Chains A and B, each alone.
Chain A
Amino acid sequence: MRTEIRKIHEMMESADYVTDPAIATSVHLAMTLKKPLLIEGHAGVGKTEVAKVMARMLGTDLIRLQCYEGLDAAQALYEWNYPKQLLHIKLEENTPHTMSEKEAAIFSPPFLIRRPLLQAISATGAPPVLLIDEIDRADEEFEAFLLEVLSDFQVTIPEVGTIKATQPPYVILTSNRVRELSDALRRRCLYLWIDFPGFDKEVRIVTRKVPGVNERLAREISRFMETVRTIRLAKVPGVAETIDWAQALSSLHADHLDEELVTETLGCVVKDADDIKRLKRELATGGIGRFVAAQS
Chain B
Amino acid sequence: MGAPRDLTRAMLAFGAMLRASGMPVTTSAVMDAVRALEAVDLMDRAEVYLALRTVLMSRIEEQPAFDRCFEAFWRFHAEEGQGLDGLVAAVQPFRKEEEMDSGAIEAAREKRAQVALDDWDQGEAADEEPLEVPGLSDREALMEQDFSTFPAEQLDEVARLTVQIARRLARRVSRRRKPTRRGGVIDLRRSMRANLMKGEIIELRRRARRRRKVRLVLLCDVSGSMDLYSRFLLQFLYALQNVFGRVETFTFATRLTRVSDLLRGPSYKGALRRLTEVRDWSGGTRIGESIREFNQTWGRLLDRRTIVLLLSDGWDTGEPDVLAQEMLTLKRRAARVIWLNPLLGNPSYEPLTRGMAAALPLVDHFAAAHNLSSLRELAAHLRVR
Q: Is A200 at the interface (CB under 8 A from chain B)?
A: no
CB-based nearest A residue for B177: A70
Q: Is B374 at the interface (CB under 8 A from chain A)?
A: no
* A21 and B202 within 8 A (CB): no
Scan B30-60; emit 1 where CB is below 8 A from any A CB, else 0. 0010011001110010110011011101111
Q: Is A125 at the interface (CB under 8 A from chain B)?
A: no
B202: which A residues are within 8 A, CB to CB? 86
* A2 and B39 within 8 A (CB): yes
B35, B46, B58, B201 pick with most chain A CB within 10 angstroms: B58
B55: which A residues are within 8 A, CB to CB? 29, 33, 190-191
* B201 and A86 within 8 A (CB): yes
Q: Is B225 at the interface (CB under 8 A from chain A)?
A: no
* B54 and A2 within 8 A (CB): no
Q: Which of these, A74, A82, A178, contacts B204 with CB under 8 Å?
A: A82
> What is the total number of residues of chain B having a CB less than 8 Å from a CB of chain A?
43
B63: which A residues are within 8 A, CB to CB? 193
CB-based nearest A residue for B270: A232
* A2 and B183 within 8 A (CB): no
Known pairs A183-B136, A233-B266, A234-B266; A82 contacts B54 (CB<8 A): no
* A69 and B57 within 8 A (CB): no
B36: which A residues are within 8 A, CB to CB? 29, 32-33
* B41 and A1 within 8 A (CB): yes
Q: Is B332 at the interface (CB under 8 A from chain A)?
A: no
Scan B163-180; emit 1 where CB is below 8 A from any A CB, else 0. 010011001000000000
CB-based nearest B residue for A234: B266
Q: Is A256 at the interface (CB under 8 A from chain B)?
A: no
* A75 and B47 within 8 A (CB): no
| Interchain nearest-CB distance for A146 vs B (Å) | 16
* A189 and B46 within 8 A (CB): no
Q: Is A97 at the interface (CB under 8 A from chain B)?
A: no
| Interchain nearest-CB distance for B115 vs A (Å) | 33
* Whole-angstrom CA separation of A187 from B58 in the bound complex: 7
* A40 and B40 within 8 A (CB): no
Q: Is B185 at the interface (CB under 8 A from chain A)?
A: yes
* Whole-angstrom CA separation of A8 from B359 in the bound complex: 67
* Whole-angstrom CA separation of A25 from B53 in the bound complex: 10
Tell me the residues in window 58-76 of chain A with beta carbons closer than 8 Å to chain B beta carbons. Answer: 69-70, 72, 74-75
The 3 closest A-B pairs by CB, nearest first: A186-B58, A25-B50, A2-B41
- Having A1-B44, A2-B41, A190-B55, one finds 16 other A-B pairs with CB under 8 Å, namely A4-B39, A21-B47, A26-B50, A28-B40, A29-B40, A29-B51, A29-B55, A37-B54, A70-B211, A82-B204, A140-B168, A179-B171, A183-B136, A186-B58, A186-B59, A232-B267
10 CB contacts below 8 A, A to B, read A1-B44, A5-B40, A22-B50, A29-B54, A32-B39, A37-B54, A69-B171, A86-B201, A179-B168, A191-B53
